[in-house]
Structure 1
Amino acid sequence: MSPVGPPLRTALALAAARSAGRRGADLLRAAPPGGPRRWERTNHAGRSVTLLEGPAAALAVSAGVLAAAPPWRAAGAVAAVGAAAFGALDDLTERTGERDAGARGLRGHLAAARRGRLTTGGWKVLGIGATGLAAAALVERPRDRVAVLDAVVAGALVAGSANLLNLFDLRPGRAAKVAAVAAASLAAGPGAAAARPLAGAVAGACAAVLPDDLAGRSMLGDTGANALGAVLGVAALARWHRRGRVGALAAVVALTLASEKVSFSRVIEAQPLLRELDRLGRP
């Protein structure tokens, strides 16, 4: 039995993530890497926002997962850092006009790859896929054919979760709210002890960045959303075994494919309860 029990690990993860997120945000605002203009973007409403929330969230969740028990600590750290790094690549080096030229969404990046052009989003897909598999290998340690298949499913769930959460980062606070709700659901019920510190890390990171996000001053961007989503994927691995993981991966894939055809924003606006929850906390 570990001398540090799951409840204490969860509390430490939440507190560490919240503290690291707030401190990180302060440091990044005081000295933004490359200058503040490098991180400025225009949001859906035409207002200028900063992407510095993303590195702050990634730092927060990375600090929080250190409270988890092994091997989840290592898997969470690899997933968070890898997803954040490749998310930052897309945030900061995306070529001008790529989105307007159709290189958006998974289908757009795959179409560009078929034409012989690997976009920054394409590199991100490959990179997060690789780090998702690396995180899964730390948990599954594949030694035979069945274990290899389990690791592939696990890696796909981590990478898919990272990508899916990023699809919600279209309105102030939306992605962080979705992450917090997902973290709470993964931490609930019997059999969730191993997942709770990872979920606590996500919840603490969300608590740190939500005020500025809801106020429309900042946004997670790929850096933050991918990192939070990847750790949610690792929490799902800790929460479920093979059958649950396959079900979760099927849901992630279905939602990702649906996003290529249906606007999540339109669906949310069409449902009164979802619309009110989505707008909750905004000015």
Structure 2
Amino acid sequence: MRTSLITPVRPVRQRPGSAVHRRSLAVTAALATAGLLLAGCSSDDDGGATSSAPSATTSAAASDPATTPAPSASATGEPAPSTGVGEGCPATDGGIPDGAASSEVVDVDGDGRADTAWITAGAERTFGITTASGATFSAPIDSASPIGASAVVNTVGADLTPIALVDLGRQAQLFSLDGCAVTQTVDQGGQPYVFDRGFGDQGTGVGCTDVDGVLHLAGLLATEEGDGWTVTRTLVDLDSAGEVATNGAVEVVAQGAAATDPVVTTAQEVSCGDLVAGDGGLVEPTS
């Protein structure tokens, strides 16, 4: 938590699409409508050092009400309804590359309109966003995994920070979509923050869980013990831009669960809200 002395505040120019910009737009719209009433480290597939969420639980855990996301635009992954607020990211040249797979996703730049995520195939595969306002921004998917990439996009945290989870089979990479850019999220040491998918000792999946009405990113670990499965959840704390991740509270959310229990199956997926990577969403095209 940041603390500061109370000092005179000068107007600050806000970046379109940033968390602060989205909050400012939302507050402005709310005031107008209300008549101004106050109302862990591991090795990745390439052998490089990366930071992983050591464990965690599932967002769609039917057997554990505490882990079930609250129904909302961000939790369900449905495109946010148009509110007419904000201009979104400034338009850029280019757009969705030829041959890329694409899918409509939630609003990532705060203009109230659904945007589009896309993935290109091949050795130089790339994940990108093209907004309804005409902006395109992207980042390479740095992995030697031969498994085709799939992805989910959602907003998490009280700031509704837009993120993307890119599933590569052995790990899932985390990207911030804040500030009209695709930025790989890092740990406090500056190393890429990734989620283990069962090929290390840290976790088996990643999901998003409702915490006090807010969708929160979490690493998940499902382990078979005796006659049942144990699922552990590690909440992942993000800074306001989603660019730095820190492991948070750890909790065992299921014990002795059946292999088919949603709390167990979800802990072995890459998901956020009702969105599951590779299940009818954005999947890398075959080249």
Q: Which has the higher contact order (CA 8 A, sep 6+)?
A: 1
Which of the pair has more CA radius of gyration? Answer: 2
TM-score band w.r.t. shorter chain: under 0.3
Task: Output the TM-score relative to the length of structure 1.
Answer: 0.23
Greater strand share, 1 or 2?
A: 2
Identify the structure with the greater helix proportion. 1
Question: TM-score scaled by structure 2?
Answer: 0.23
